[in-house]
Chain A
Amino acid sequence: GEDVEQSLFLSVREGDSSVINCTYTDSSSTYLYWYKQEPGAGLQLLTYIFSNMDMKQDQRLTVLLNKKDKHLSLRIADTQTGDSAIYFCAERGLAPLVFGKGTRLSVIA
C-alpha cells in the first residue's frame, strides 16, 4: 500500500521557525495535507496543497511540495508554545486519506 513517512520528533525554541518534513510514495496523490492534533483532541486541518502547486503560504504556515522527489514540508514561522502538538502529514490519491506516523513538536520557552 501507499506509505507516508515523517520524522517522529522535533524540538525548537519559542520564536524560532519549525520545519517538519514528510515523504510519500503515491504517484496518484492529488492533495497533501497537514493536520494538527493536541493531546486528547481530534484532528485539526491546518493547511493543504494541491499536487500541481509547489508552495502555499497561509499566515505563519508555509507548505513546500517537491512532487518529483515526493517530499512535502511544513514551516511554522515564529513558533509559539501553543504550537506544541503532533503534526500529521497525509495524502489523498485514488485511495482514502493515508497518514504518516506524526511528528511530535515540542516548543521550549
Chain B
Amino acid sequence: DTEVTQTPKHLVMGMTNKKSLKCEQHMGHRAMYWYKQKAKKPPELMFVYSYEKLSINESVPSRFSPECPNSSLLNLHLHALQPEDSALYLCASSGSNYGYTFGSGTRLTVV
C-alpha cells in the first residue's frame, strides 16, 4: 500500500459545528503532516507529527486540534471555524526514503 487516504473528500460545516478530518497510511512512515492550501496558492505547513509526537505547530489557531492516535492515523479536529478557514486540507507522510506522499485532500467549506 503506497497511498495516503483522507476522509471525507468534501466537508461543509457551520461555524458552530465540530468535525474531524481523518488521514491514514500503511507505508510505515513515522512522520505525518497537515498542510492547508488556499486556491491558487502553495500548500502551507500546519502541523508535523514525528513518531506520534507533535514536533511542529506553525502557530495554527487553537480551533484546529491535531491528534495522532497511532503510527498509521492522523486526525485534525475542527471547532468554531471561520469562513476564511475554507480550503483544501492535505495530509502527507514521509519515511526514511526520499519523498512525501500526499493524500488527495479534504475540501472544506465553512458556512
Contacts and interface: CB of A to CB of B under 8 A. Distances in A.
Contacts of B105: 41-42
B90 interface: yes
Interface string A74-87: 00000000000010
A101 B103 contact: no
Q: Range of interface residues on chain A?
A: 20 to 34
Nearest to A98: B45
Interface of A: 31, 33, 35, 40-45, 48, 50, 86, 88, 92, 96-97, 99-102
Contact of B98 (A43, A50, A96, A99): A50
B42 A42 contact: no
Interface residues of B, number: 21
B99 A45 contact: yes
Interface of B: 6, 33, 40-43, 45, 48, 56, 88, 90, 92, 98-105, 107
- 4 residue pairs, one from A and one from B, having the closest CB atoms: A99-B42, A42-B104, A43-B102, A42-B105
B98 A102 contact: no
